[in-house]
A and B are shown apart, each in its own frame.
Chain A
């Protein structure tokens, strides 16, 4: 054949250099993408002719072990398109400002010749303030100089501090792990300033509250390679191809290794393609399916078969054998709290006896106080915080009795409520009577309560399911059909295969779960339903087993050292960290549009379960459960100053005086009057995130109340008269924020609506560190080229802002000044033992005792002239206070000394400090001071844990003693970090990371009330909400949820449940605006509709549609597909208003918004509790989350398209 040519005429092939020339390049540099995808992929960035031209994945992740697939290559379609941004027309090249503001500023500066006075003149003149606020987002941006930008920002900060106090200055930046130094730059700046960091993981609704509920842990999950060890994988609410793109191969490869995979998804999602079975559970109803699965597991594998592995696991690692008191109320018994050890004579004097609990010895049938509960954790005498079967008083060994079924002294009937069909069934538990100081009380075990809850009769009297086909009895396979649309037979096969696999493999069953579940109002219950099916099968804390929740790159591996730097703990003893969901709910005035939560939250009726969420928040704040900033209706600086004037001689006396003012209500909390001017947040820094669009639940309310610009919400303020504690203003303020500053490399919605946009270096232009929970490596971002045009790294930007504030402070805030800081009762500290019951000091139910019945106080001295110096120096606190996280604290004073000798230093006021001036220096300090990357510290940390637990653990650290990583090492190759007590997976000897293996194998307790995995949540608010035991609650109905009160379906419009799952062509909003992704998708983010709904609406594929409700409107095109079920529509998270968004016809020809234009946040009140073991606040760890999936919209065809 003539076309197979030999090289007879090489000259004619010279042209082949054409393509060779293109491939030639000058260098490649390792970096990654600081984006919230949880990928954490190592990339080589190619530079040619001084320009970044493309990127390819690095292939050199160390191999974990040869029996599992390797990690290479990691990186997806989005990551590989990043280089587009660098030189694109959407790149922010220079500092930009809203022209109207610049004109006002320059005019006032001319007049006053002082930046702070100029700013004051604008802010105190409502007309001028409105002038620039109302044009936010509407063009008129102007380039200006860095110098002027820094001057205006410094002036706004100083003015705000002087007038209101520093807790009116806020910063939002998400998910530090993705570029931890860039996050730390802003947070360090804010914490030194006295400002506030807003949380993100809970606001994004990525935090699964069930994880702290059950494990006392924010989230701790298997690295993706561990999926390969699973022999049964259930995927729910997670679309692995879309969201776990670099990891999904492990699932595919596990299948070829004999693993069965079942996918639950209402649509035929992309991952369904891999499933052996696809189960289209009705949207949000997965909990019902799992409740039925658990019913079968309990009946067949626990009760009938008594699977030894399952039974033993439950005894040892769960609260199953713990005693719960049964309380009589109006002649009926109800499960109450765990019986406290100090209620019995034997244990009445034990330390922390309110926080230690009881088992029954299976042999003697006497009560025993097991070690390892939260009380033991914080005892003065250490060494009893472990899960050995030993009595905490006398160390005697015992075997706990799991159930009283064969040892009952009686039977007590309980009413079990099933909220779906509203069934109240009388069921029995076997009881025994325990002698307490106030007489005999009936108790049962958690295990027995579980049997009753799930309807396993065990020949006890009562109303139990007649069979699996019994539709009218809660949690049977037939019962779940009503909610899921899935046949009972399907449940039965699944449950038997699930438990059967777990039994044979000792727990190698994995649930991969994600936002598709976590964003529902009752997500905690759906999660608990699935987690219980894991725990009951012994599938938690084993390789190849467990709950693999991947929503948000929350795992910042070297948390111990990083948090020290990031929150300036090396200088300041108290931080201001704000739970964002309650903050936005209150401050963006979304509470005003919300009514009584009992309208949409199914609960038993009692004093806790009715009212307005805002009131619950106010109670939560003053009780020390949740933080809230701004703190008070006057400046904290003034409060201290006045206290000193009134005679306070020291910090304690200042606190005392302030406490009295609070008690007398002379000083009030901002949370109780958020619409008063004194309560407004004033300055907002946004960096590394899209705070005004992709994460802005209730985006239009942000535009309305924060920014004061136009918006498309028409919602009715139904909150009036519904709150008792939060004050109602007839007219809600518009434009609370004085200044919004956005650091960005691209013109996204947040940048477009900000007042000042600072050009940020992109991920190929700076040094940083990255870690994720998808794998167990830490790796760097590096500068392939210097920051382009006038951009600067985040580290450099906040450093320069600190510098200009320090300069300006010389005139305006020249002296040290005291600031009183409030802080909530916190997790992983003795605060966990604060409140055994809910008592409100403000109602006179108890004394107001800071740190006990209310929040804590701290006094911090601020010296604004030293802001910059402190920013660039590692502070002296490390010489005498420990650092750490998750309750692991250790001294690093020797490392600090070493840094002073071997690390660049900075000198000021005659003293020398390790330098943090450059980002690379900060990176090295993070690596030197962490137990994950410095082997000496790893060993030290395990020694500390040995003291706390009385267990042998030091061997875990020894394997890594020699490790000492530097930034340069990571640039050479990603490194696997050390097994450390900071985390719960054991990775030594080539094991893949699986959470809680440390707890299960080494008997280190879970950080919960009982120290075990919790089936039972005995806090009185959980009892009140009927969530003490795992249960099912129906999704809020659209008519009561209230997104469609004023929006009327006119013409061909239809109500649909709108889902906003993570999409294929963006990571949130990033990448979504790139030409690459827009070309490979549909040029925009469409609204996916089922064929049936589209037909009913007269909509054809690619027609323009409006998606709208009271909260706002999104204009887009339809994507009509048979894979979408009727009744729902999908707008993948997250579009932007910045591209191809026409003007809405249903909202008066105003520019449409994005997917958050139709959301408004509701918070689940029982997640607001605090001061109680794992229910104690920690930043991004605990609190209500920003749920949004129960949202309903109208969809209609858009006849007229105007740009």
Chain B
């Protein structure tokens, strides 16, 4: 066993409000500068929808992620070898239009316009060319089902639904939406690292954060192609690629990443997981049908004394193991089985997990055209929920609807249990069935309820100590490091091309 620690995250989609506060928290701190304007390390998508960049999930187009190659796996698009052959031509790279051409406005005209016969207005201009431009796409263009004919209807996750079934999803009776916030998954089997010809990308041993070394990056942009989540971006100003750094400077000082801190829907959780690095390759190469299950098996129980001891022996700090034992992620992912990886079929073993959303009950249109929304019991059943299970399964479980259904049953069982406790109008057999069908006991239901509902900030984000002193010690005496901290020059990376 080669035990490693990984900072991992859970996003509870049932609570996500699609506000994008996370996106701006990130943008303000990290990507509000030339060459990075179009980058949204954190973005939020409306589902159904095509997202950012346009149709990023469609690997037939972008060739991101791994593909199974007999008993092994290989990068689908931008392998180091393939990449080197295409030094000047990387055909699967998204173009700026797939992201969007960043723009601003000629605000100054409002102040400077000379007296005329009509009112001045600030026109949009390209942040790349400085010319007047037509705004045609943005990082959140299909927000809240904007432009359904062109966007939501082209969602690749509809692939297993018949055209007729797809169409009903845009009618009154079944229409729905939910939000999918996305950051870098800080994968265990990251394509970006594997694809980099310069060896500039690495996964930090102490916490699993995947970083692009801004000194070593040579702008091959193989990572941009390789990442199936399209979370590696090319900075056209510095000529380096950049990506989510999971706010390691904040984590190192015990603070939640900015996107998580700012999550006003309180949907986000962060904590440490222990896993067995020796089995990554084997898991990433397994059959698609067992990918989710095998990924979960990689994650080890930090409360098991054998594991804890072995972790210590693998060099994991005692304080990190303690933190792992309190990790809310472990509870959601392993104890309760409520959180699932996004597109596990990309085989990167993403370490960001999602609790799928419950959605409103379907309705029907009666004989006289009246809209009828009634349910047999107080709450709708999982089958009555608006989004087909198949769609959610295509997002989270390689198409396995049973797995998604099981999660939703658990979520609903918690609600029914709490209704029973707080109001008492749930029939005994209904409560019993909800609990037994989902395999949730009332004690577990209480625990889930607490971590979902009345949870505090400190229980949502259990951040392990980063022991920076130990890292510094390798470079210089720590007392000297203390005095030296901050002296030096802020020099931006030299252009990579």
- A residues adjacent to B (C-beta < 8 A): 1-7, 10-24, 53-57, 59, 63, 66-70, 72-77, 79-81, 83, 88-90, 96, 99-100, 135, 137-141, 228, 231, 240-241, 245-246, 248-249, 252-260, 263, 268, 270, 272-280, 481, 485-490, 493, 497, 500-501, 504-505, 710, 747, 752, 1064, 1073, 1075-1076, 1078-1084, 1086, 1091, 1100-1102, 1119-1123, 1125, 1137-1143, 1150-1151, 1203
Contact = CB atoms under 8 A, between A and B. Distances in A.
A16 B420 contact: no
B21 A1064 contact: no
A231 B28 contact: no
B115 to A, nearest CB: 3
B140 A77 contact: no
B28 A1091 contact: no
B118 A1151 contact: yes
A56 B148 contact: no
Contacts of B110: 90, 747, 752, 1138
A504 B139 contact: no
Contacts of B454: 66-70, 253
B144 A270 contact: yes
Contacts of B490: 21
A11 B474 CA distance: 9
Interface string B344-383: 0000000000000111110100101111111100111000
Given A139-B114, A1080-B139, A1137 B119 contact: yes
B361 A710 contact: no
A137 B205 CA distance: 60
B423 A231 contact: yes
Contacts of A272: 176, 360
Interface string B83-125: 0000000000000000000111101101101111111111110
Contacts of B135: 1082-1084, 1140
Contact of B28 (A12, A54, A275): A54
B221 interface: no
Contact of B264 (A76, A138, A276, A1084): A76
Interface in B1-39: 4, 14-15, 17-21, 23-25, 27-30
Given A273-B177, A1080-B143, A75 B262 contact: yes
B15 A249 contact: yes
Contact of A268 (B103, B176, B474): B176
Given A75-B262, A258-B420, A1140-B124, A70 B139 contact: no
Nearest to A98: B115
B425 interface: yes
A241 B17 contact: yes
Given A278-B360, A504-B425, A1083-B135, A1139 B122 contact: yes
Given A76-B264, A249-B264, A487 B370 contact: yes
Contacts of B216: 12, 15
Interface string B199-220: 0011111101011011110000
Contact of A1119 (B18, B147, B211, B315): B147
Given A256-B453, A501-B425, A1075-B104, A7 B375 contact: no
B70 interface: no
A7 B178 contact: no
B283 to A, nearest CB: 11
A77 B21 CA distance: 4
B263 A258 contact: no
A1073 B122 CA distance: 10
Given A138-B118, A504-B423, A1080-B20, A1064 B143 contact: yes
21 contacts: A4-B4, A22-B29, A22-B249, A23-B250, A70-B457, A77-B21, A83-B28, A140-B113, A241-B17, A249-B266, A277-B375, A486-B373, A487-B370, A1064-B143, A1075-B105, A1076-B27, A1078-B105, A1079-B138, A1122-B170, A1140-B122, A1141-B121
Given A4-B205, A277-B361, A278-B363, A258 B115 contact: no
Contacts of A24: 249, 486
Contact of B145 (A141, A268, A280): A268
B141 interface: yes
B287 interface: no
Contacts of B201: 3
Given A273-B360, A1122-B152, A19 B249 contact: yes
A79 B19 CA distance: 11
Contact of A1082 (B138, B194, B203, B369): B138
A129 B226 CA distance: 67
B441 interface: no
Contacts of B250: 23
Given A747-B111, A1102-B136, A1123-B148, 18 more contacts: A1-B189, A23-B249, A69-B453, A77-B20, A80-B21, A90-B107, A228-B453, A245-B19, A252-B265, A253-B453, A255-B358, A258-B418, A270-B18, A279-B373, A752-B120, A1083-B124, A1121-B146, A1140-B105
B170 A15 contact: no
B422 interface: yes
B423 A1080 contact: no
B321 interface: no
Nearest to A70: B456
B361 A74 contact: no
Given A19-B30, A77-B19, A747-B107, A1119 B261 contact: no
B483 interface: no
Nearest to A261: B360
B217 to A, nearest CB: 10
Given A277-B375, A1137-B119, A257 B111 contact: no
A886 B465 CA distance: 53
Contact of A252 (B15, B103, B113): B15
A90 B109 CA distance: 9
B334 interface: no
A1138 B119 CA distance: 9
A1203 B266 contact: no
Nearest to B208: A4
A258 B419 contact: yes
B262 A23 contact: no
Interface string B222-259: 00000000000000000000000101111010000010
A4 B3 CA distance: 11
B425 A1 contact: no
Identify the interface centre among B107, B258, B488: most chain A CB within 10 Å of its CB: B107
A1139 B122 CA distance: 4
Given A231-B423, A248-B265, A1091-B148, A5 B453 contact: no
A276 B19 contact: no
A504 B424 contact: yes
B312 interface: no
B243 to A, nearest CB: 11
B322 interface: no
B455 interface: yes
B305 interface: no
B370 A481 contact: yes
A1078 B133 CA distance: 14
A855 B373 CA distance: 53
Nearest to A54: B28
A24 B249 CA distance: 8
B28 A55 contact: yes
A485 B265 contact: no
A307 to B, nearest CB: 14
Contacts of B102: 1079
Contacts of B177: 268, 270, 273, 1123
B390 interface: no
Contacts of B214: 15, 18
Interface in B126-182: 135-136, 138-141, 143-150, 152, 170-172, 175-179
Nearest to A1119: B146
A80 B24 contact: yes
B262 A258 contact: no
Given A137-B119, A1075-B104, A1122 B148 contact: yes
Interface in B436-460: 449, 452-457
